[in-house]
Each structure stands twice: as C-alpha cells, then as structure tokens.
C-alpha cells in the first residue's frame, strides 16, 4: 500500500512548509474559533467538529459561546441544557462530555482550561487529538495534530497513498512529528487541516489548486488507488442512530417531560424504539420521570 514512509528530503520539506503556510495565509476561512483562539473556544469547537462538518457547527457554536462564554457558566447549568443546545449536531454524548469537562475545569483548575497535555487528557471527553489541538491552537504549542484531513494530506504528499490507514499508526505519527516545523507549529497544524478540508479532499481532490502538487508523491505515482482494508460507509436509514436522533429531537424541543405515547409515535418499530430509549437512559442523555414520561437530564 505505502510507497514511502520516509519524510520528505530537506529541500522538499522546506518547500512543503513554506508553500502550505503561504497558501493558508491567502485562503484560510474566517472561522470564529480562529478569530478568538482562547482555550475554551478551541475546546468547544473541537468537541463540536468531531465527525461534523464546519457548516453545521458554525450556528451551534456561535449560540453556545454567546450563552456560555466560560467553562464556569456552562458548568452552572443542568446537563440537559447542554444536550438541548447541542441541537442536531449528532452524537449528543459529546454535549455531556463537554459539560463534564467544564465542571472538571471549574473544580480542578479554577475555571481556566489547563495547558499541559496530562491535565488536558485527564478531562472528560478529551483524547490525544483534542488535547493536541488545544495545546497547539490555544497555547501555540508544538503538538502533532492529526485529524482525518491532516492524515490524508500526509498520506498523499509524503507516503504516496490515496488514503491513510483506518487508525493512526506509530509510523504515521512518527512521520507527522518529523514534519512539524520548529516555528509556526500551530499555523502548520491549522494549515494542513485546511488543505485537507478544502483541497485535498477524500473523494474529489482539487489537485490543480494544491500549493504542493509538484512534490506530492501520490500525484507523482499516478494517483494509485487505495488498496488497504475495506472502509465501511456508515449506514443511516433505519439504524439505531437514526431512531435515537428522532427521539432526542422530540425531547430537545419539549419544555419538560414527554409522555411515552408521544415518543411511541416517533418510531414505528417498538422493539428498536425501546432499545434506543434504554440506551439513551443508560447514556444519561434522558431521565425517566415516573413510569410514563421521559425528559432531558435536570428537566424532570
């Protein structure tokens, strides 16, 4: 599968840095978490952007930051309010984790997002990628930020592969670490992420617009097709995810507890509906109210 895992030769590496950063200076999107790259704004944006496109995140992020501009203000609200404000971003457990992270920040760090990797990783919902993103974008640290877009850029330009492996490998992280420039590491992280999101896309890469097309090993090899393990597309219609989304939509829109009879009308498959409701209760996204009603947490 891999043409070469070796980092680019030094002249090409310098060109990779210069050309990508220059392209980013000219074309970067004006995103609110870039204008205000405070630790909290970066954390909120990274939680929301997981598996969710920027276009869907923008209105929810803006409303969220207007309502809860600090961790303390979010932590003071019931968890159900975080779930309600999450709206239709999907994967609402992220809202619970963000609320839990805000609570931990208040309790352990005086309301300020911590700056060390270990302290960040100790927060609920913060993994390697999110910690690296906060360390880089908020604090200007020299962290290795590897999201899907960055991994795809490096796979193509450096390794000559159409797509990276399904999960980050040790070799891939080693290459990414070697690519981080000594200066402007935070801009490099944002620029490579932007390049993957806008130009070096998964399905229809715009190679004619790429600032580093001439040093891209995938292009030089004639664009060989991905030949790694099969990648399964996520189904949606009729899945438990769709059912849970429908149920959560009704609960979010209601001012208080919702009778089970109302939820029964949301999804026709009774067994699947009950399984999904049980899962939502187990995930603490929903609370039973008596025997016949359910509500968001804190809204019983």
Whether residues 268 and 175 fall in one domain: no
Contact (CB, 8 A) for 255 and 261:
no
250 within domain boundaries: yes
| Domain count within the chain | 2
pTM score: 0.88
210 within domain boundaries: no
Q: Which residues are catalytic?
A: 46
78 within domain boundaries: yes
Whether residues 173 and 268 fall in one domain: no
The Cβ of residue 227 has, within 10 Å, a number of other Cβ atoms equal to: 9
Whether residues 276 and 174 fall in one domain: no
112 within domain boundaries: yes
Q: What angle do CA 220, 178, 169 make, to 5 degrees?
A: 80
Whether residues 128 and 247 fall in one domain: no
Residue 244's SS3 state is helix
Whether residues 124 and 8 fall in one domain: yes
Whether residues 130 and 248 fall in one domain: no
List the domain range (segments joined by +) for residue 284: 240-295
96 within domain boundaries: yes
186 within domain boundaries: yes
Sign of CA dihedral 21, 24, 30, 31: negative
Whether residues 184 and 250 fall in one domain: no
Whether residues 36 and 179 fall in one domain: yes
Whether residues 276 and 173 fall in one domain: no
Tell the burial category of 266 from Cβ atoms under 10 Å away from its Cβ (0-12, 13-18, 19+). middle
pLDDT in tens, the chain (300 residues): 444 566 788 889 999 999 999 999 999 999 999 998 999 999 999 999 998 999 999 999 999 999 999 999 999 999 999 999 999 998 999 999 999 999 999 999 999 999 999 999 999 999 999 999 999 999 999 999 999 999 999 999 999 999 999 889 999 999 999 999 999 999 999 999 999 999 999 999 999 999 999 999 999 999 999 887 776 666 778 899 999 999 999 999 999 999 999 999 999 999 999 999 999 999 999 999 988 999 999 876
Whether residues 183 and 264 fall in one domain: no
217 within domain boundaries: no
Whether residues 179 and 265 fall in one domain: no
Tell the burial category of 111 from Cβ atoms under 10 Å away from its Cβ (0-12, 13-18, 19+). middle
Of 124, 155, 190, which residue constitutes the final position of a domain?
190
1 within domain boundaries: yes
Whether residues 6 and 117 fall in one domain: yes
Q: Which of 144, 141, 147, 137 is nearest to 116 (CA)?
A: 141
């Amino acid at each position: 599968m891999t043409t070469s895992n070796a980092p680019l030769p030094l002249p090409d590496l310098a060109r990779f840095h210069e050309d990508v950063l220059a392209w980013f200076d000219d074309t970067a999107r004006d995103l609110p978490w870039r204008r205000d790259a405070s630790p909290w704004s970066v954390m909120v944006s990274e939680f929301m952007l997981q598996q969710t496109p920027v276009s869907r995140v923008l209105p929810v992020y803006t409303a969220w930051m207007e309502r809860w501009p600090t961790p303390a203000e979010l932590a003071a609200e019931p968890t159900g309010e975080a779930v309600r404000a999450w709206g239709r971003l999907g994967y609402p457990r992220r809202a619970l984790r963000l609320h839990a992270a805000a609570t931990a920040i208040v309790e352990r760090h005086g309301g300020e997002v911590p700056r060390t990797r270990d302290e960040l990783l100790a927060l609920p919902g913060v993994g390697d990628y999110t910690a690296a993103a906060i360390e880089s974008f908020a604090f200007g640290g020299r962290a290795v930020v590897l999201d899907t877009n960055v991994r795809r850029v490096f796979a193509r330009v450096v390794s000559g592969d159409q797509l990276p492996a399904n999960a980050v490998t040790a070799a891939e992280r080693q290459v990414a670490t070697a690519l981080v420039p000594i200066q402007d590491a935070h801009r490099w992280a944002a620029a490579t992420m932007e390049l993957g999101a806008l130009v070096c896309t998964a399905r229809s890469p715009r190679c004619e617009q790429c600032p580093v097309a001439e040093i891209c090993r995938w292009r030089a090899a004639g664009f060989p097709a991905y030949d790694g393990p099969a990648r399964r597309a996520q189904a949606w219609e009729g899945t438990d995810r769709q059912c849970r989304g429908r149920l959560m939509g009704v609960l979010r829109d209601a001012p208080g507890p919702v009778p089970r009879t109302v939820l029964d009308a949301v999804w026709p498959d009774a067994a699947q509906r009950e399984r999904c409701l049980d899962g939502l209760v187990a995930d603490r996204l929903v609370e039973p109210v008596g025997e016949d009603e359910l509500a968001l947490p804190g809204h019983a």
